[in-house]
Structure 1
Amino acid sequence: MTYLVLDSIRNQTQDALKEQFAFDVLMGFSAPSKYLPSKYFYDAKGSKLFEQITGLEEYYPTRCEFEILSKVGSELAEFIQDKPFEIVELGAGDGCKTKVLLSKLLESTDAFSYIPIDISESAMADLIVSLKQSHPTLTTHGIVGDYFASIRHLENTSDNRKLVLLLGSNIGNFDFPSAKRFLHSIWKCLNHNDLLLIGFDLKKDIDVLTRAYNDKKGVTRAFNLNVLTRINNELDGEFDLNRFSHHGMYNPRHGAMESYLVSLEQQEVHIGALEKTFEFNPYEAIHLELSHKYLLSDMQKMANETGFNVLKNWQDSQGYFADGLWQVNKDFPESAY
């Protein structure tokens, strides 16, 4: 079990990452409606807080997808006829849900290797160590890099059929036009009849959604406020977290949960690395995240418009979440996109 760090990541120095963070904060706080990119949730502390969120009573997505993946392994293996094949996971993280799927697949076949992809070298190193213990016979070759550079790297090294995993509800963080561009980019990196297993959080009772993003223990609040702590620590910010509140709400027009931090009073906050002070009005919001929810018909439409054929949809027992198995159709004309 090994992993490769792509040059595109190795060459990113801490100074360059900090410079990009500073630029994004400057752009976000200078906009007419303030915002911060959601990717900055996930420093070391933010990642640990999100792990806590996934175990909360109110937060159903992880629990629902665990249920699906624990049942579909043998059925999924029937769709993979070519041997050997490769399971390529985009954004593998700690791999906790994937291990359930890998175990089920291994009950039907061992003619596959697992290639987790993640932007974080520390997360990849931890995952490799964990897999050595939980799945010692599984051939694993991790890649540290962004999604598309990593898949393009695989194109040059292997002709094996691929099953790409995009689990969780990560696709929901894109608006629909951006989601289509993202999925079609994956399509371009794959071969005819390759497979994509993709997770979607489904539309449901709004109270269920609202509770999932406003938990009683306040872990989601701490997760969102940690973005301000990160600005304080990395960019010499002077945010007082007690002067901001977390607010999660469902927007039925967009079909999405929206997360905000709201200024509780008139205040000015200096950020040393930017040599700039930003003004926040009472109850002014900082937009942090969109999490779109889908109908099964939306999933079908998305597949049709990005070059995939839907082979199967699996849902949990409550109908809260779905994993779709899509097949690459290279007869899909580029002009149609």
Structure 2
Amino acid sequence: MSDEASLAQNVAQGLSQIPKTLSSRFFYDAKGSQLFQQIMALPEYYLTELEYQIFKKQRKEILYAFGTQAPFQLIDLGAGDAYKTKLLLQELVDQEAHFSFIPLDISQEPLHQLVEELGHLYPHLPVTGLAADYFQGLHWLNEHSKDRKLVLFLGSNIGNFSPVEAEGFLLKLRSSLAPQDRLLIGIDLRKDPRKIRLAYDDSAGVTAAFNLNLLARINHELQADFDLDQFEHFAEYNPISGTMRSYLVSRQNQEVHVKALNRTFHFEAWEAIHTENSHKYSLREIQEMAKRCHLAIDDVFTDASHGFADVLLRPVG
């Protein structure tokens, strides 16, 4: 199914139900990807900086825990601009390690820019960009290479799933790993609820623009007539469940027509569209989830504040 067809299906289903929902996977068109890069540079968005500090200060330890003596593939799921991954790339190049880099991203333009940039930085490094979803990319790699793999899933992207969905994702990912492969996964840890909420509701309004861009994308790709001025972004954090939730809220009673679906959707005043979850974990929860997904923890790397963790996992069973 094409990305546009998937978007159409999600809109048709999500806006027909109560409460209304839209999947966060459709945030990342070209403009959405640019806005997310801006979000990662915001002072409130601590996640990028904490994980960057882990890689900056502990990259040697991370690579030592994996083992880089034999040739391997470094696979970055949802690579984006590879801001943090570049620290590992530089360390590996300095070590003269025998490896290839496979950035995988669903957005083609940022992927092309990254591959071109790395070609200039590291002209002798084999780089293969894959524009695909995670499992399409891993399936292709398993079909075309038997090298050992270090798979990166950074930025707390696992938090975008509910705990049940996260386990399903990890089980599926586990099935793509050979016994000698490893998975390095970035996970945001539970912390001060106020700090978490501000990371998803910044004072500059960039996160709001990022969420509203989803409606702009539907307007563009499905010929809808969302009035973006009549929706506002709202975010809340539940410290009991550890879940940050984002919504787009209708300011008034209104009808939205989606020409590509030949459908009109009614919104009550202050009715919300649920757009995103971001789940935060404790180290105990991570250990229990890994065990249920037939993964064992080789090592845990945290920043100085213990607010973020990069967890090195190996398949077992």
| TM-score calculated relative to the size of structure 1 | 0.89
Report if the CA contact (8 A) 1:74-1:107 is conserved.
no
Q: 1:104 corresponds to which letter in structure 2?
A: E
1:176 aligns to what? 163
2:60 aligns to what? 74
Secondary structure (helix, strand or coil) at the match of 1:156 reads helix
| Cα displacement (A) at 1:57 | 0.7
| Cα displacement (A) at 1:280 | 0.9
Relative distance call for 1:144 and 1:229 in structure 2 (3 A) is: closer
Report if the CA contact (8 A) 1:90-1:166 is conserved.
yes
| Cα displacement (A) at 1:125 | 1.5
| Cα displacement (A) at 1:251 | 2.0
User: Among 73, 85, 94, which residue is 1:86 paired with?
Assistant: 73
CA RMSD in angstroms, aligned pairs only: 1.5
Report if the CA contact (8 A) 1:70-1:104 is conserved.
no
Secondary structure (helix, strand or coil) at the match of 1:323 reads strand
| Cα displacement (A) at 1:89 | 1.4
* Runs ≥4 residues deviating over 6 A: none
Distance in 2, matches of 1:186 and 1:20, equals: 22
Secondary structure (helix, strand or coil) at the match of 1:73 reads helix
Q: 2:90 corresponds to which letter in structure 1?
A: S
Q: 2:288 corresponds to which letter in structure 1?
A: K
Q: 1:224 corresponds to which letter in structure 2?
A: N
1:320 aligns to what? 307
Q: 2:312 corresponds to which letter in structure 1?
A: L
User: Among 174, 184, 193, which residue is 1:206 paired with?
Assistant: 193
Relative distance call for 1:289 and 1:136 in structure 2 (3 A) is: same
Distance in 1, matches of 2:173 and 2:227, equals: 41
Distance in 2, matches of 1:218 and 1:47, equals: 16
Can you list the C-alpha shifts for 1:158-209, whole angstroms capped at 9, x where unaligned? Answer: 2221111111111011111211111111111111131111000111101101
Report if the CA contact (8 A) 1:74-1:108 is conserved.
no
1:9 aligns to what? none
What are the ranges of 5 or more consecutive residues in structure 1 without an aligned counterpart? 1-11, 333-337
Distance in 1, matches of 2:80 and 2:27, equals: 14
Q: 1:43 corresponds to which letter in structure 2?
A: D
1:34 aligns to what? 20
| Cα displacement (A) at 1:76 | 2.2
User: Among 38, 51, 54, which residue is 1:65 paired with?
Assistant: 51
Distance in 2, matches of 1:277 and 1:77, equals: 53
What are the ranges of 5 or more consecutive residues in structure 2 without an aligned counterpart? none
User: Among 45, 66, 69, which residue is 2:31 paired with?
Assistant: 45
Report if the CA contact (8 A) 2:72-2:99 is conserved.
yes
Can you list the C-alpha shifts for 1:42-98, whole angstroms capped at 9, x where unaligned? Answer: 111111111110000100001111111112221123231550111111111221211
Report if the CA contact (8 A) 1:73-1:105 is conserved.
no
Report if the CA contact (8 A) 1:313-1:325 is conserved.
yes
Aligned residues: 316
Q: 2:74 corresponds to which letter in structure 1?
A: I
1:270 aligns to what? 257
